[in-house]
């Protein structure tokens, strides 16, 4: 648990007030506006996410997704390092949960993404030649 607290503390130190507004905006579908207005620090934001089952020491996929869409690769990298070193979940193990980061993508979990075979490829006719 100490590593998790350390991670959140480290992330909080690297989130400015401007960043916080961007992060809250990225999860506006999950945080009602009146409650979002009451969140004034990154620690309060993390606390809200924990209380609403969006964040836990062994479930970081939501904030990974938020950092990803908020274009904060530095924060995302810190979360991924925690996941791989502390939770011992590697990128290979993570493949199963990649699609579940986005709630609407859960229905696709279990479907294997693969290259289509030659028979499945739709062949298009060449464009008409100009006269």
Taking the domain 1-92, which CATH number applies?
Answer: 1.10.533.10
CA nearest 62: which of 23, 33, 92?
23
pLDDT digits 0-9 by tens, 11-28: 888 888 888 888 888 888
Separation of alpha carbons 16 and 33, rounded Å:
20
Separation of alpha carbons 22 and 67, rounded Å:
10
pLDDT digits 0-9 by tens, 28-61: 888 888 888 888 888 888 898 889 888 888 888 8
Asked if 12 and 46 count as a contact pair (C-beta separation under 8 A), the reply is yes
Residue 77 sits at φ, ψ, to 5 deg, of -60, -40
pTM above 0.85, yes or no: no
Q: Which residue has the higher pLDDT, 98 or 70?
A: 70
pLDDT digits 0-9 by tens, 75-121: 888 888 888 887 776 655 554 454 444 444 444 445 555 666 777 77
Separation of alpha carbons 39 and 20, rounded Å:
9
- Using CA of residue 16, residue 22, residue 26, residue 30, what is the dihedral sign? positive
Domain spans of the chain?
Answer: 1-92
Q: Which residues does residue 59 pair with via DSSP β-bridges, in sequence order?
A: 56
Residues 6+ apart with CB under 8 A from 43: 8, 12
């Amino acid at each position: 648990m100490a590593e998790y607290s350390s991670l959140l503390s480290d992330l909080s130190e690297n989130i400015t007030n401007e960043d916080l507004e961007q992060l809250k905006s990225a999860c506006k579908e999950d945080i009602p506006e009146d409650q979002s207005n009451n969140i004034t620090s990154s620690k309060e934001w993390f606390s809200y996410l924990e209380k609403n089952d969006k964040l836990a020491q062994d479930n970081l996929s939501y904030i990974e997704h938020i950092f990803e869409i908020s274009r904060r690769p530095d924060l995302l990298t810190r979360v991924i390092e925690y996941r791989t070193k502390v939770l011992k979940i590697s990128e290979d193990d993570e493949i199963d949960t990649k699609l579940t980061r986005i709630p609407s993508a859960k229905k696709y979990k279990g479907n294997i993404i693969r290259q289509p075979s030659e028979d499945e490829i739709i062949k298009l006719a060449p464009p008409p030649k100009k006269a």
